[in-house]
Amino acid sequence: MSDKQFHIVPLAIGEFVVLETFAIHPDNLEETTDSGIVISTQKQDFSKALPRYAKIVSKGSLVPDSELNVGDFVVFPLGGHASNIEDPRIVNGQKITEKEKRQFSYVHWKNIGARYIQE
């Protein structure tokens, strides 16, 4: 890679959407009694947290406009097939920490079963 810094983003093709996934990452997981006494504490491993929701960052040209749009927040499709995409900054040769790493996946648009809307 060149020393020049390029802005690289994953671009969806066909019937696929690219999702930026977000996992729940509490710094500590604490188990407490009903009265609030902490019985055990463990550190969360950031690399093993499962995504809970995602933001659509790109959609292929064959995804219907009436269904999903870039910027929509959706439930991450745990039951369907999803493939990971490396953080574009790493592809560009940048050094980033595990906490700074952005998580991307691509899925077929029909695997997304729900999106969040504002009431």
- What local confidence, expressed as pLDDT, does residue 44 receive? 54
- Closest to 105 in 3D by CA, of 79, 76, 75: 76
Question: What residues contact 104, with CB distance under 8 A and at least 6 apart?
Answer: 10, 18, 19, 20, 21, 57, 84, 85, 86, 87, 88
Locate tokens 């749009």: which residue? 69
- What local confidence, expressed as pLDDT, does residue 49 receive? 63
- What local confidence, expressed as pLDDT, does residue 1 receive? 45
Domain-by-domain residue ranges, the chain? Answer: 16-103
Please, are residues 45 and 26 in contact by the beta-carbon 8 Å criterion? no
Q: Burial code of 95-110, b = ≥16 C-beta within 10 A, e = fewer?
A: eeeeeeebbbbbbbbe
CA dist., res. 89 & res. 77, Å (int): 25
Question: What residues contact 114, with CB distance under 8 A and at least 6 apart?
Answer: 74, 75
In order along its 119 residues, the chain shows pLDDT tens digits of: 444 555 677 999 999 999 998 876 555 566 777 777 776 666 555 555 667 889 999 999 999 988 899 999 998 887 767 888 888 888 888 888 887 888 899 999 999 989 998 88
Locate tokens 């019937």: which residue? 15
User: Taking the complete model, does pTM exceed 0.85, yes or no?
Assistant: no
